[in-house]
Amino acid sequence: MTYPSYSFTKQNNILFIKSFMILLLSCLTIRLDLCFSSVPSSLRALPLDGHFSFDGIEFASKDFGNRYNLPPLAVLHPNSTSDIATTIRHVWQMGPGSELTVAARGHGHSLQGQSQARNGIVINMKSLGGGQKMQVHRGRFPYVDVSAGELWINILQECLKFGLAPRSWTDYLHLTVGGTLSNAGISGQAFRHGPQISNVQQLEVITGRGKVVTCSQEKNADLFHSVLGGLGQFGIITRARISLEPAPNMVKWIRLLYSDFSTFSRDQERLISSERTFDYIEGQVIINRTNLINDWKLSFKLQDPVEAQNFKSDGKTLFCLELTKNFSPENTDAANEEIESLLSQLSYIPSTLFISEVSYVEFLDRVHRSELTLRSKGLWDVPHPWLNLLIPCSKIHAFAEGVFGHIARETSNGPVLIYPVNKSKFDNRTSFVSPEEDIFYLVAFLSQATPSSSGANGLENILARNRRILDFCEAEQLGVKQYLPHYTTQEQWRSHFGARWDVFMQRKSAYDPLAILAPGQQIFQKTISSS
């Protein structure tokens, strides 16, 4: 016996299930399409020696500053310069209708998202590294040809095999060549040799049009000077030729303390202006530190241990002059005599002379030892709200009185560096901007905000202190420039570059007219055209 009503219901159910399954599959297909439509299919088809990553790319949305998180759509792991050129050329050819931008990322040591590209492409420049691509050339004017993704520590170790080394450094060597050359690369040797951008003979650069260009002082000179200190705005540096000098074996590492800023700064300026002087000159501001003498005794010898015990650092603002003299073991006596002669001209607190004898590599890589200690305690991957300033020499006393004497009188959770450099060692044709005086100071507040930090060392309080310092500089018209600058409006950038803004704009128009490169700097915004 059949029941027509039952048969009708069954058919309806089957029809309903089929319709539901079709609808479900359609929804899944649409969802997958939406997921992949954000990544242009043409990227997946590009002929590359390396490859793109579209998943597991969270690392490219973070940096050392650990405050900004701007996820990209894709990360390029290039195996050749051609991979980068092909990618940028493709984005260029997509024209203003595409929202894609491109950022080069070295060791990710940016502080405020400068190497990030929200919904764009991040190029993992370390993929271009590798010692096999490094070539050391000896001779009357020695140099090393390196990939821009190479770490400076690796360059040092390779060059030392030939008894050579670069002349100018940063305090931290685990940074990539392209990263430091896009800023300046300043350390305690800059007073004599200039920053790292003053020690480059030749570059290979990929412009915002995807064009590969070899440039130097003599060839394509405008592009050469544009990208040095250019914050990544005009091209991606892919190779560099770095000047070298004979490498020393050993270093006399010296620290001296001052309680008076005027005396401290006078001695610093005298040392950087003398022909016969030390090989490295930096300084630190030490605020309300306890057990300073005992801390330093772990790695430094006291010249007069008995007298030093009478020195109390608690509660004082002190200024530390940090110096080195390079030497070879066979010339130890001559080095000691020269050091003694140089020190006799300085007015430091006599009981606070600390001296250590270390290898050249040990001194240059000193910050890495601190990194390993902080990593072991889980204190490396924390927010780093750093503030780096360049201050005209004529204004440094007003700055010291207002900032060290009032705004920053509390203990800093991180070092505060201060040292002068000679402007004559900086090339004004580069994109780097500094105060218009013969001598200017670098002052760096290298704070860190740990999860347990509170009070003065909490993140918000450190940021508020930084703002107070900047506001003070502006109110007092000190003519300060930011190093590793960060601004959020083009008007602020225009003020930063001052009279050089027009040249900066012209260079951008010439080498990256669609504003594809380095969007994280927030200098230019890519104009999107619906047509």
How many other CB atoms are found less than 10 A from the CB of residue 205? 26
Quick one: pLDDT at residue 450? Answer: 77
CA 290 to chain CA centroid, nearest Å: 31
Whether the Cβ atoms of residue 277 and residue 342 lie closer than 8 Å to each other = yes
Looking at residue 411, the DSSP 8-state letter turns out to be P
Minimal CA–CA distance to 460: which of 382, 385, 380?
385
HEC profile for 132-174?
HHCEEECCCCCEEEEECCCEHHHHHHHHHCCCEEECCCCCCCC
Query: Would you give per-residue pLDDT tens digits along the chain (531 residues)?
Result: 333 443 444 455 554 455 445 444 444 433 333 344 456 788 999 999 999 999 999 999 999 999 999 999 999 999 999 999 999 999 999 999 999 999 999 999 999 999 999 999 999 999 986 655 799 999 999 999 999 999 999 999 999 999 999 999 999 999 999 999 999 999 999 999 999 999 999 999 999 999 999 999 999 999 999 999 999 999 999 999 999 999 999 999 999 999 999 999 999 999 999 999 999 999 999 987 766 666 666 667 766 665 666 677 667 899 999 999 999 999 999 999 999 999 999 999 998 999 999 999 999 999 999 999 999 988 899 999 999 999 999 999 999 999 999 998 876 688 999 999 999 999 999 999 999 999 999 999 999 997 765 666 789 999 999 999 999 999 999 999 999 999 999 999 999 999 999 999 999 999 999 999 999 999 999 988 765
Give the three-class secondary structure for 18.
helix
Whether the Cβ atoms of residue 468 and residue 503 lie closer than 8 Å to each other = no
Count CA atoms closer than 13 A to 242's CA, side-chain side.
34
Quick one: pLDDT at residue 411? Answer: 63
Burial, 203: exposed, middle or buried (Cβ in 10 Å; 0-12, 13-18, 19+)? buried
The mean pLDDT value of the chain amounts to: 90
Q: Which residue spans within 193-262 are E strands per DSSP?
A: 200-207, 212-216, 235-246, 250-258
Looking at residue 403, the DSSP 8-state letter turns out to be I
Q: What is the pLDDT of residues 411-463, one digit of tens each?
A: 668 899 999 999 999 999 999 999 999 999 999 999 999 776 566 678 999 99
Whether the Cβ atoms of residue 250 and residue 331 lie closer than 8 Å to each other = no
Residues 6+ apart with CB under 8 A from 345: 270
Query: Which residue numbers are catalytic?
Result: 109, 171, 282
Tokens for 374, please give them: 């902080």
φ/ψ of residue 196, rounded to 5:
-60, -35
Give the three-class secondary structure for 402.
helix
Quick one: pLDDT at residue 413? Answer: 81
CA 345 to chain CA centroid, nearest Å: 35
Whole-angstrom distance, CA of residue 25 vs CA of residue 241: 56
Amino acid 43 reads L
User: What does pTM read for this prediction?
Assistant: 0.90
Whether the Cβ atoms of residue 531 and residue 522 lie closer than 8 Å to each other = no
φ/ψ of residue 234, rounded to 5:
-115, -15
